[in-house]
């Protein structure tokens, strides 16, 4: 779990600069948190798509969830599913090689091609019985976590402050939540 702390003094200075009421500050904090989560989701799904070499970001979007937690729901939890992804999610064409199937730079030993639903898929046998087969998958957890820690989460507090500043400015100018 990765936690980040925002300096309350800095938020207080911004609120004082715009003469915001405590209610406007609370509303701005919640909205900025929600917008920050959306920004992090967008940045991470785009970046992970290119980092992992995926065809599209659909498989990743299904694996990123956000939850509001804590008292007053002023905290946010982002969950990333880091299970193995099926070979069909990656770019490139699989080719038959000695002892299995080669997908890009990765060799999957014991894999074979099967036509399922009119699509050619890379399959692997998981047991000794007749129908114990499934689509081959590649591990992505390590590369995902390294990318997220090195590229995405380093800008978390600046993204939050940018959204908070925009929210507090808009609420004070338009008079939203001052009552």
User: Against a cut of 0.95, is the pTM above it?
Assistant: no
- The reported pLDDT for the residue numbered 73 is 65
The ranges assigned to domains in the chain are 12-83+140-174, 87-138
Q: If you average pLDDT over residues 117-142, what whole number do you get? A: 93
- Report the candidate in 92, 56, 84, 103 with the shortest Cα–Cα distance to residue 144: 84
- How far apart are the C-alpha atoms of 179 and 168, rounded to whole Å? 15
- The reported pLDDT for the residue numbered 72 is 67
Which backbone phi and psi does 8 adopt, to 5 degrees?
A: -65, -30
- How far apart are the C-alpha atoms of 59 and 89, rounded to whole Å? 7
Q: Cβ(103)–Cβ(92) under 8 Å?
A: yes
Q: Cβ(127)–Cβ(140) under 8 Å?
A: no
- The reported pLDDT for the residue numbered 69 is 82
pLDDT range class, residue 44, cuts 50, 70, 90 = very high
- Report the candidate in 59, 35, 31 with the shortest Cα–Cα distance to residue 45: 59
Q: Cβ(36)–Cβ(159) under 8 Å?
A: yes
Q: What is the mean pLDDT of the chain?
A: 90
**Secondary structure (3-state) at 49:** helix
- The reported pLDDT for the residue numbered 108 is 94
The yes-or-no verdict on residue 27 having pLDDT over 70 is yes
- How far apart are the C-alpha atoms of 81 and 63, rounded to whole Å? 5
- How far apart are the C-alpha atoms of 125 and 25, rounded to whole Å? 57
Give the DSSP letter of residue 169.
H
Q: Cβ(60)–Cβ(54) under 8 Å?
A: yes
The yes-or-no verdict on residue 8 having pLDDT over 90 is no
Q: If you average pLDDT over residues 11-22, what whole number do you get? A: 91
Structure tokens at 78: 């982002």
Q: If you average pLDDT over residues 29-40, what whole number do you get? A: 92
């Amino acid at each position: 779990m990765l936690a980040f702390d925002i300096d309350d003094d800095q938020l207080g200075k911004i609120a004082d600069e715009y003469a915001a009421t405590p209610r406007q500050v609370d509303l701005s904090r919640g909205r900025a948190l929600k917008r920050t989560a959306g920004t992090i989701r967008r940045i991470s799904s785009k970046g992970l798509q290119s980092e992992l070499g995926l065809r599209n970001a659909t498989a990743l979007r299904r694996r990123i969830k956000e939850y509001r937690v804590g008292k007053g729901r002023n905290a946010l939890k982002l969950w990333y599913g880091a299970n193995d992804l099926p070979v069909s999610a990656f770019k490139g064409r699989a080719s038959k090689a000695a002892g299995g199937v080669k997908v890009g730079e990765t060799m999957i030993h014991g894999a074979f091609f099967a036509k399922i639903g009119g699509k050619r898929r890379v399959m692997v046998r998981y047991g000794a019985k007749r129908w114990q087969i499934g689509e081959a998958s590649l591990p992505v957890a390590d590369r995902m976590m390294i990318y997220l820690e090195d590229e995405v989460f380093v800008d978390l507090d600046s993204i939050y402050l940018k959204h908070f500043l925009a929210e507090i400015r808009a609420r004070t100018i338009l008079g939203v939540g001052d009552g």
